[in-house]
Amino acid sequence: MGNREMVRFLKAKVGLSPEIERAFLACPRELFVPEHLKERAYEDVPLPIGYGQTISQPSTVAIMTMLLDPKPGNRVLEVGTGSGWQAAILSKLVRPGTVYSVERIPELAEFARRNLKAVGSENVRVFVGDGSRGLPEHAPFDRIIVTAASPEIPEPLLDQLAPDGRMVLPVGRDVQKMTVVEKTGKGVKISEAGEFVFVPLIGAHGF
C-alpha cells in the first residue's frame, strides 16, 4: 500500500474533507517513520519511532484532525511532536498560520525538524520542553491538539486556548476518551468521541 491507497482507505473508513485529503497526500507517512519500518508506513497501526514513543495510526490522526477542524490562518499548539507527521498535516491546513509543537525528547524533536523540512512545512516551530505546560509565551492558540494520553484536561492548556478555540486530546488512564474542548462565550463545552489508546503524556500536568 502506498500513500494514495492509504488516503483512499481513510476516506472509506472515517471520511476526509477535500482539504484534509490534500494535506495527507502532501505528507507521505513513510517520511516520518524510521528507515527499517518504511515498508509498513501505510498500515493502519501505530509504529515505534524510538524512545518509547509511537507515530499514531493513520485513522487516529485523521479522526483527531477532523475533530480539531483547523482553519487557514489558525495558530495551533501541538503537544507531542513525535516524528512530526501530525504537525506536517496541520501545517498544510492552517497555512499561512503557524503550528507550534512541543516535544520533550530532544532527539525526536530533531528527527521531526528534518522530516518537516522534507515536506516543506516551514510554518511549524518545534520546541523542546514540557508540553503539558503549553507555550504561554506564544499563547493564545486557536487550536490545541495533544497526541499523548492525559489524566485530565491540563489547566495551562485550557488557559492558553483562545476564545472560540478548540482543543482535542485523549483523556484517561488505561483507555482514553477522545475529548473535544470548546471555549465559547457561554463557557467551556466538553464532548467525547470514542475510545483510544495512547502513550502517556509526561510532564507537570500529565502522568
Pick from 133, 105, 1: nearest CA to 49: 105
Catalytic residue, chosen from 17, 56, 101, 150, is: 56
Tell me the β-bridge partners of 119: none
Which SS3 state, helix, strand or coil, does residue 103 take? Answer: strand
Pick from 163, 201, 159: nearest CA to 182: 163
The pairing of beta strand 75-79 with beta strand 141-146: parallel
Q: Quick check: is 56 catalytic?
A: yes
Pick from 86, 24, 43: nearest CA to 61: 86
* C-alpha to C-alpha distance for 66 and 168, rounded to whole angstroms: 10
Residue 165 CB partners (closer than 8 Å, separation 6+): 140, 141, 142, 143, 144, 182, 183
DSSP H or E run through 65? helix 58-68
Would you name the residues annotated as active-site residues? 56
